[in-house]
Amino acid sequence: MAENPSVPGPRRDMAMHNDWFVSGWDHVLPRQGFPLTMLIGTACQPGFTGSLDDLVQEIFDGHWDMIGGDLDGALTFSWPDEKWDYEAAPEGREACEAARWEQFGAMLTAAGYPVPKTVRDLSELYLTWGLAGREETPDGTRWSMPAALPLPGDLLPLDAELTKRLDGIRWTMRTGPLVNTLINHLVDDLGEPEETLTSLDRLAAATGQDVDDVRLALAELVESGDAHVQRGQEPADAERLETHRRFRLVMNWDHFHEHRIQLSIRD
């Protein structure tokens, strides 16, 4: 059967780097950082050679709204068509945008980098920062990304507030799944006990987690006020618990349910 040239071929699936959200770049770069990372991640797939312009043309017929059209679209920190939240930012869109650009520009200038104006400019910074790699081969341009993205704080002089916020995000994303697994055991298997006499190795066996992961989950529960641990009648340091020694895990379920959203997958 002859091929019908009017029928388009399959679209390439978009790919996102697993490290994007935990790295914190989403809180540092203009909004196009997210779709640009997705675009480069897609360009890294086997079978693609060419420029990012070629990929935008292949997938979006040359125009992708998420980046503002094409790679020469102007960078912005807010979506131009989004409804502005004046309660969260009463100064308004223009003032907020200007403040973000002032902060972003100051960081890059202090670190000796040019301030990007377009998505294409930002893609070149990705290469400079090691967020992406580009190699010219006999078959064409090939793209790559490292397994672990460099962190913003390794490249830019972040202020103390942003550094603390990014550290908190990474901690939450690291410990969140571990806490959920432990809580599922306490809720589904033990029925939300107010107090449990246990040990790290017992909890690890019951949850299928590594002992160090259980220790991290306990430390997060204690840090957030959802629980405390005791040895006898004395408080114990969750991060220094020994693997086989028993301790009392005392849960504050009222605090937990008030401050956390718990997702539990049941059959």
Encode pLDDT of 134-146 as tens digits.
Answer: 999 999 999 999 9
The number of residues making up the chain comes to: 267
- CA 13 to chain CA centroid, Å, is 20
Place of tokens 């996102």: 16
The phi and psi torsions of 151 (rounded to 5 degrees) equal -85, 150
Per-residue confidence band for 259, with pLDDT thresholds at 50, 70 and 90: confident
Beta pairing class for 140-144 and 133-137: antiparallel
CATH architecture of the domain with residue range 162-259: Orthogonal Bundle (1.10)
Confidence of residue 261 (pLDDT cuts 50, 70, 90): low
pLDDT of residue 198: 95
Strand-pairing partners, residue 133, are 144
pLDDT score for 245: 92
Q: Write down the pTM of the prediction.
A: 0.75
* Mean pLDDT in residue range 16-35: 93
Tokens of 110: 């202090």
- Looking at the chain, which runs of residues are DSSP E strands? 133-137, 140-144, 195-198, 227-231, 234-235, 247-251
- The two tokens of residue 253 are 């379920």
| 116: confidence class by pLDDT, cuts 50, 70, 90 | very high
**Domain definitions of the chain by residue range:** 20-157, 162-259
